Structure 1
Amino acid sequence: MPASRLCSMSSRNVRVGDYVVIQRQCYTKLHKVTQRSMASLGKDQLELDTIIGKPFWTTYKMEGKGKRLFKLVECDGAESLAEQLIKDVTSGTDNRNIFDDNASQSLSKDEIVGLRDSGLSGQEIVGQLIENSKTFHDKTEYAQKKYLLKKEKKYFEYVTIRKPTLRLVSQIMFRQDPAKIMWLRMDTISQITTAAGIHTEGTYIVYESGCQGLSVASMLNYLGEDGNLIHIHPGNIPQKQAVLAMNFDPQHLSKLISVNVYSLLRMLFQENKCEDDEPAKDNLAKKPRWEQETEKAARLLRNRKVDGLVIVAREYPASIVMALLPFLAVSRPVVVYSSVREPLLDLYLTLKSRGDVVGLRLTETWLRSHQVLPDRSHPDILMSGSGGYMLTGTLVQRRDTSII
């Protein structure tokens, strides 16, 4: 990625129309900024007017304006609720005499909800819970910290506005509904871009359907001024949610060409095509956007072969690969992703029999995250079963057996 683009992306402030990532402790949410924008974090409603024009990575404190309605006030940084409240609290030596009988808290549920609705800060609410607890002062220091950290997660008053990155966008989409992105995790995305050999000045084809534009955004992210990406999709309207969320500038978005697969193939293989003629500007202006994009992609593919072919599809991939393989240059990679294994097994055998795709490998991506804390590091209990399957290979010149 050019250094000038990196510098401009890092220094730009939040503008109307941008996507931002709202982070509250470990929770992150993707949101598009509009005039008088409102964002919901659980049952809390946030007014986002104050973030417009401010730099990314600014931290704000949530100040109550009414029932679960908050405005954001810029501050220097977040303060730990647990560290503030644990300072002057006495603790016990063990928890043997503490019983969980649901009677240790003298405040009722309605009274606790009333404290929140009255506009009290999180520190004041938790302070009230401690004062009205019959067992808190008898707990060990470790148990008290654990209790306060649990309450801090619920009553945390600070949010940070972050710039969307490929990692953040993919993690948010995966957490919300992994089926919508075909269980495509961030580690799988990195393997796809690595296997495809993305470089800044390359020209690539990506066929994607049912992945919210996540693989398209990952490939477009690494292209430079002379790069091109042809996004082929089966429907009338391409899925671009992840592409929009990345806040690419218009110049960078001009490297992306989105076309319907049937329209592109029909234009490329029609009998009376003009390969080198550039369409007149007057005629081009009268054509719909999808037709202009299709002609642009067709001219690009007639003039050169692409440097990589990536298929991320819910459909059976064999026919898609066979239709697009002729546009791939020799000694260039082909990468096919699927959330299930069986279609890739059939495609493996089909490509093996052709003889012009070598180095075929079918792999399953697997990742398990770990909690790393003093004296209590262990694998996370909840994890995804699989990150999908990937078939990779390299196109070579077919050997002419007639001369042997």
Structure 2
Amino acid sequence: MPTQHSLPSLSRRDMFKWSAAGLTATSTCGWFEQLAARGAEAARQGVKHKSCILLWMDGGPGQIFTFDPRPTGFKAISTSVPGIEIAEALPRVSQQMQHLALLRSMTTTEFDHGRAHYEMHTGFRAGAGISFPSIGSIVCSEIADPEFELPNYITSGFRPSRIPGPGHLGPLWIPTTLDNPAAGLEDLQAARQLPIEKRVSLIQRLDARFQQEHGVASAEAHRRGYEGIVRLLKSPKAAAFDLDQEPAKNRARYGSGEFADRCLMARRLVEQGVPFVEVVLPGWDTHSQSAERSKELTAQLDQPMAALIADLHERDLLDDTLLIWMGEFGRDPRSGRGHFPTAWTSVLGGAGLQTGQVVGRCNPKGTEVVDRPIKTGDFMATILHALGIDYHKQYSESGERPVTMVAEDSQHVEQLFG
């Protein structure tokens, strides 16, 4: 569990608010008191928590076909920022460049998909003897809204087995998976067909069974999860999961297909306050016919990503939403085929960053970083810093030695912050 800081007491007005919501010290779940106190402190300090949308390109996208074009890949086109060029396959995204920063000097360690997936989700290499939490679990454990009725961490497009868990943070921060964004939360729709008395009875029976099968610690997290489901069933914010409520004109703006629906769902969720949403576009493991397959994938990417950026900006959400675009590594810039963690590109946007710029540079062949190398720990530190999280914080894992939030000696990318 995270190290605890002293928590402020609630004012009478704060206590009244939480009492009305049924979340005072008499609640069956003790964590509400701490969350309420944190929320009251944030309100007194005028803190506005940020959200994060991670666009994960599963398989490893080729930088020469996306954000670092070279003669071996797609042609370069100009963008909305003079002097910055990206691949011709992303014409709509190119017109949102003022909201993005290209990190063209990523240099990481893992060539294997599974190990690189773990590294880029946790900031650490697998096999260190510690179960590190995913970036989504870290973010939610630090900035989750105490008054929030929706799941804090939502992924769309991954099989559950592919998602790095919450590690030493515990099962409270396991993500909610959304299989089909067009269908919304199908389990939620089914549960709403039951009368409230049957819903509560169902939860109690499932909770008792779960405790028998999995033990006390897991059962406690499971119980808290079902309390969250009850809040979700009662919440008008659950409408965020229903894409049919989006105006047709704006839905068409994102285009068609599952990735388009996932991007639109991400905007609807952060608009309601969800701290972390991960959206997956699979298929980037392009060992053969790399140019043809990358053309197909960038066609799926361009319109939804551009629409998401513009939509967030127009709704005054972009300054409070960190947008991340990345995969587990890049592709060999000489061919666009092989796995290539040595020198590749990721993209950050929003969250008040200094955007409309390129950070870092590779040699002319794109095979080696020659300016401002960004290691995995630096990248993770940058994400956390952008979200207002102190990445120097340490955790105590089961009373044993402290565990750092990011790799030691990691530093955020200063060029992105004013």
The higher radius of gyration belongs to 1
Q: Which has the higher contact order (CA 8 A, sep 6+)?
A: 2
Higher helix share: 2
TM over 0.5: no
TM-score by length of 2: 0.29
Higher strand share: 1
